[in-house]
Amino acid sequence: MPELPEVETVRGIIERAAAGKQVVGAVCARPKLIEAIDTELGIERIVGSRLLAVERRAKWLTLRFDRDPQIILHLRMTGQVAAITPDGAREVAGHPVPAYDAPLPATTTHLTLTFDDGTLVYLQDPRHFARLSLIPAAILGDYLAERNLGPEPFDPALTTERLAAGLAARGRLKLKPLLLDQSFVAGLGNIYADEALHHARLHPERRAGSLDAAETARLRVAMRAVLEEALPIGGARIHHGKATQINGFPRVHARKGEACDRCGTTIEKYTLAGRGTYLCPRCQPAPE
């Protein structure tokens, strides 16, 4: 599933290509994509609206228009967004299928937005998981609040003290499943949980309540550090279901059998809470 860096990349692509422009066409090839909150707000109502901004909260994108409906988009596991401007410039992010240079629209294209200067924004999803909600602006805040999202790693409110309190309150839970809980910290997924724990030198099965003050501070720094490393490169690249390295990232995830770049120990993989989990057994010693 796309995580915070990948979704932020999609946000930037849509905003750069289409912010300030008016929608002149909206075609939905798969009606089940849309979960309209107000049944009177159909996708055709987008036509004539001007896109003001594209915002992100955790893994949710909000396309804000100058009139209702507003769009909230979640790529889920296999969503992909492409934007093509009139000069032929093309930016794509999200799932690697279809190929980033494939002709569009494709058989997997579920939504096409056309803007007044000829810019095209496409949403495709080969497995039909992505969802789009049409929402009046007046209830956008309530809608996101109902998702019960925790603070993001970059949120100034996520201080070491607040993180420590959250860990203590969930003391018996294991660290990696807790980091995947969007109500605890929003935006992290399987790749970045592995990367953060490796950066912080913490085993995925450490109990949340077992961290001391120094370890808690390391975890907070690590969550931010791995996102800061991923954002400039557009997040992780997935090929054949596996993350591949760009400029040395990811450093541990999907690198089973390779050497840890910190200590040289062979990286291991096992399953924790149903998720493939990677770690360095030396940098991240198992709890007693």
Q: What is the CATH number of the domain that holds 237?
A: 1.10.8.50
Q: Tell me if 287 is assigned to some domain.
A: no
Q: Tell me if 155 is assigned to some domain.
A: no
Q: Tell me if 31 is assigned to some domain.
A: yes
Q: To the nearest whole number, what is the mean pLDDT of the chain?
A: 93
Phi, psi (5° rounding) for residue 221?
A: -65, -40
- Asked whether residue 164 falls in the same domain as residue 114, the answer is no
Question: What's the average model confidence in pLDDT over 218-240?
Answer: 87
- Asked whether residue 141 falls in the same domain as residue 16, the answer is yes
Q: What is the CATH number of the domain that holds 50?
A: 3.20.190.10
- Domain carrying residue 228: 160-279
Q: What domain count does the chain have? A: 2
- Asked whether residue 61 falls in the same domain as residue 135, the answer is yes
- Asked whether residue 102 falls in the same domain as residue 166, the answer is no
pTM of the model: 0.91
pLDDT at 241: 59
Angle between helices 213-230 and 4-18 in degrees, nearest 10: 40
Question: What's the average model confidence in pLDDT over 51-75?
Answer: 96
- Asked whether residue 86 falls in the same domain as residue 124, the answer is yes
- Asked whether residue 135 falls in the same domain as residue 164, the answer is no
- Asked whether residue 199 falls in the same domain as residue 273, the answer is yes
Tell whether the model's pLDDT for residue 100 goes beyond 80: yes
Question: What's the average model confidence in pLDDT over 91-105?
Answer: 93
Q: pLDDT (tens digit, 9 = 90+) per residue, 77-87?
A: 899 999 999 99
Residues that are catalytic: 2-3, 59, 275
- Asked whether residue 187 falls in the same domain as residue 260, the answer is yes
